[in-house]
Structure formats: structure tokens, C-alpha cells
Structure 1
Amino acid sequence: MTDMLAIFADPAVWAALVTLVVMEVVLGIDNLIFISILSNKLPQHQQRRARRLGIGLALVMRLALLSMIAWIVGLTAPVFDLGWQGVPDAHGVPSFETRFSWRDIILIVGGLFLVWKATTEIHHSVDPSPSEDLLDKKAHVALGFGTAIIQILLLDMVFSIDSILTAVGMTDHLPVMVIAVITAVAVMLLAADPLAEFIERNPTVVMLALGFLLMIGAVLIADGFGVHVPKGYIYAAMAFSAGVEALNIWQRRAQARRAERRQGA
């Protein structure tokens, strides 16, 4: 207890905590979008339970990884080297690295899974098969609960490792990391149902969210190959796209209200 008080007596620790909470919440958005899209494919009575279970698993996984920080940090050590680092740029920096750590492998596999999942969902939305056209309602609930949870668990692992490595890079204090992770997951828990309902009510947002997942998957793959895209660029692009879509939704609702007024007159 005395050690805890000593840690939080330092203003720099509070600054690190606030920064880390914001970072963890932002990183949790990716995880939450995937959970929301996947849970919306389940029957109505299973959706809320799937979201709660998915976010609960994310918390358990993050806390479990925090208890194995030494192992997590070890995931960044190279495990094999293909011996070629790509074409150097003007500054002599290679275009990409071929020394792969377990973290790189996990990010590449997770990124490929996200790209595959997002592409599959986009294909089903744009070009549904005749059976899906005739049985639209069944198509939305074709995903089994167990299958959905397994897919959520796989992506929870990828996002959790990214989240914990971010935390380790920002502070050396385990209590600060634990508080930041719990706070971020609590925000995810509060935002899960409203976000899923908003996506369900606005079908065009589904395509935007799938586009986000496609971009995040590509960034994870690039990161695994040593090409580090600044996260600020990614989230700025996501925020801009979301802002444009919000204007589109506002425009459609305004047009619908005007049409209702004309019909009433």
C-alpha cells in the first residue's frame, strides 16, 4: 500500500496514467467495432451476451498478459531472420524487415484474419448469393454463437498484445497499466450496446466499419513486416470518414423529415 501511495504521489505518474487511458480507449475502438459487427450477425437474444462475453474475455486476456510482462516483452525478440531487409531508402533505412518476432507473426496472422473477415462481409453485403437473398433473416443469424466467440477471442488476443505492448512502452508501473486497462475495458463495456445498435440502425455504417477493419488489418500486417504506420494518421482518417458519414446520416434524416411533412400537408 505504501508503495502504491509513493507511485501515485508523483505527478508524472498521473500524466502517464491519463495518457495511457486515452491510448487504451482508442486502441479498444478497433476491438469494439469487430465485436459489434460480429455480434450483430447472431440472433437477437444472443447479441448482448456475445458482446459482454467478448469484452469480458478481452479484459481477462489483458490482465493475464499484464501478469506475464516479462514474457510479453520477450515476444519482441527475433525468432528467425530471412536475411534480407528490402531496398534501403535515401537514408539507408530498409523498406521492410525480415527479422520476425512472435509479436510480428501474431500481428501478421491477426491482420490477415481481419482482412479476410472484412472482405468476406463486404462481399456478402454487396453480392449476396440467391439463398441469402431469399432467406435474408436466416443469413444474418447463420453464424453460430460458439463460432462468433472463437473469432472474437482470436482478435481479442491480437488487440490485447498490441494494447499491453503499448502500455509497457509508456510506463514501468504495473498498477498504472492495470488501472488504464480496466478503465479502457469499462468504457468498451458501456459503449458496446449503443455502438452495436447504431450500426444495426444505419446499414451504411456497417460498410464504413468494415472498411475500418480492412484498413486496420492492413496496418497490422504492415506492422508485422516492420513498416510502422503512425497510429495518429490511421485514427485521423477514421475520424474524418466517420464525420463524413455522420453528415450523410444527418442529411438522410433531414430529407426523411421533409418528406413526412410534405405527406402530412
Structure 2
Amino acid sequence: MNFIAEHLSFLSEPAGWAALATLVVMEVVLGIDNLIFISILTNKLPPEQQARARRLGIGAALVLRLALLFTISIIVQLTAPVFELFGHGFSWRDLILIAGGLFLVWKATKEIHHTVDPEDHKDSMVGSAVQLTMGAAISQILLLDLVFSIDSIITAVGMTDEIAIMVIAVIAAVSVMLLAADPLSKFIAANPTIVMLALGFLMMIGMTLIADGMGYHVPKGYIYAAMGFSALVEGLNMLARRRKKNAPKA
């Protein structure tokens, strides 16, 4: 009991609550990228497997982030440069972000090509519906979970030293992802134009990860402002199409 009370002592201070609220919001926002990828990926599975794959993928994200939280000493060391190239010191974190960014750009490009040219049945983001299996989907989700989790944990470490705050924030953020996963996936599946918009988001996120890994930090506010504006424009387009469709014919 004393151990628990010691780690939850921040609850008695306003600064602790403020840090917790800020970190929860940050973790939820950072989780949006992961959730978009999971939604598009699992929609490629047979309908009876989609919800289960989303739960497994998000559950794996929770386990992975909590495991990383308890290896913070190792995570912090990932930011130390391991070699220098073109005057920039690259750390393991940079290399992981670059690899994850390249993966996202490649996958999103493949799926955009497949969406624009449906007659081409070669490679898509995850292969055809027949080729994609539950195991393949979970493997790809875990790969991106690792990239987003490391970025998320490093962000958390930079905001607070309290492990309890980090754990609560991660659990809260993943819970929000779990609640939003099914509605978001259904919305994307029901609106084909949203798929292209979401793939554009993934492309932008991938390029941002690459830039971050190369030492060019792009403020997250700009990224999410652009995503929000694009989503607003698409929402207005959907509303206009719906009104046109329901308008009485002359």
C-alpha cells in the first residue's frame, strides 16, 4: 500500500493533475496516426475478423508501450548519437523513425496506386483480401506500433518524471483508441473518399517521421492543423454531395 501511495502522491498536487491531463491529451493525439493505419489495414480483412484484429492490434500497442515504459533507461539511451553523417548525429531513435516513415510512405503509395487503378491486382498496401491474413495484419500493426510507441514514450519522458503519470496516460489513450477503432473503421469503409484522405494523412505522417529522424523537427501542431483542415473540407464535400443526392428533381 505504501508503494502505491508513494507513486500516486502526485494526485494530491494540482501540478500533478495538470501534467496528467496534458500527457493524456498528447498521447491521444499521437495515437490518431496509429489508429488511422490500424483502421485501413484491418478493413482489408474478412468482415468477421476485422473487429478482433483491431482489438488485438490496439491491445498489443498497450502491452508494448507499458513494456517500454519500464525500460525508460534504455529508451532514453536511444536518443544518443551512434554515428554521424553529413554533419548530423543519428541515434537509434532517428533510425527507427526513418525506417517507420519509409514503411508508411511505401505502404500508403502502394494502396493509393491500388485505389486509383483497381484493375491492377498486384501489390496494394497489404495485398489483396485473399492474401492478407490475421497474422500478417497483426505483424504490420506491431511494426508500426513499435515506431509510434517509441516516439510516444520519448514524448512522455520529456514531459514528466513520474512513471505513474505515464502509465495512466498510456492506458487512457489506448482506451480511447479502443473505443474509437470500430466507429472510425466503419466510417472509413462507408466513405471511399475518406480512404484516400486517410492515405494522404499516412503519407504526410510518414514524411514527418523521416524528417524528424533526419533532424528536421516539424511541429505537431502544423501537422494536425493540416489534417483537421483537410478533414473539414472533406466533411463539407460529403455534406454537399448528400444534399445534392437528396435534393428533389426538377
1:29 to 2, 27, 32: 32
How far residue 11 of structure 1 moved from its aligned partner, in angstroms, is 0.8
Aligned to 1:103: 93
User: Which aligned pairs between 1:253-264 and structure 2 lie closer than 5 A?
Assistant: 253-258=242-247, 261-262=248-249
- CA shift for structure 1 position 145: 1.7
Structure 1 stretches (4+) deviating beyond 3 angstroms?
Answer: 129-132, 138-142
How far apart are residue 254 of structure 1 and its match?
1.1
> Residue 206 of structure 2 aligns with which residue?
217
91, 102, 119: which one pairs with 2:109?
A: 119
Partner of 1:89: none
Q: Find the aligned partners of 1:32 and 1:251 in 2 and give their Cα distance.
A: 27
Equivalent residue for 1:149? 138
Matched, 1:160 2:149: yes
Cα distance between partner residues in 2 of 1:233 and 1:139 = 34
Q: Which has the larger radius of gyration?
A: 1
Aligned to 2:194: 205
Q: How many residues align?
A: 243
Cα shift readout 1:143-190 (whole Å, capped 9, x = no counterpart): 222111111110000000011011000000000000000000000000
1:187 aligns with 2:176: yes
In the alignment, which residue of structure 1 is the partner of 2:77? 74
Would you say the 8 A contact 2:8–2:164 is kept in 1?
A: no
Amino acid at match of 1:42: L
In structure 2, what is the Cα distance between the partners aligned to 1:111 and 1:160? 14
1:9 is aligned to 12
Normalised to the residue count of structure 2, the TM-score between the two structures is 0.94
**Cα distance in 2 for residues equivalent to 1:41 and 1:193:** 14
Unaligned runs of 5+ in 1: 86-96, 133-137
5+ residue gaps, structure 2, are none
Distance 2:143 2:153 in 1: 16
Q: CA RMSD in A?
A: 1.5
Q: 1:43 aligns with which of 15, 27, 46?
A: 46
Residue 2 of structure 1 deviates from its aligned partner by 3.0
Distance of 1:202 and 1:59 partners within structure 2 = 29
Distance 1:198 1:170 in 2: 34
Shift of 1:128: 2.6
Structure 2: distance between partners of 1:190 and 1:2: 30
Using the size of structure 1 for normalisation, the TM-score is 0.88
Q: State how far apart, in whole Å, the 2-side matches of 1:168 and 1:71 are.
A: 12
Secondary structure at the residue paired with 2:16? helix
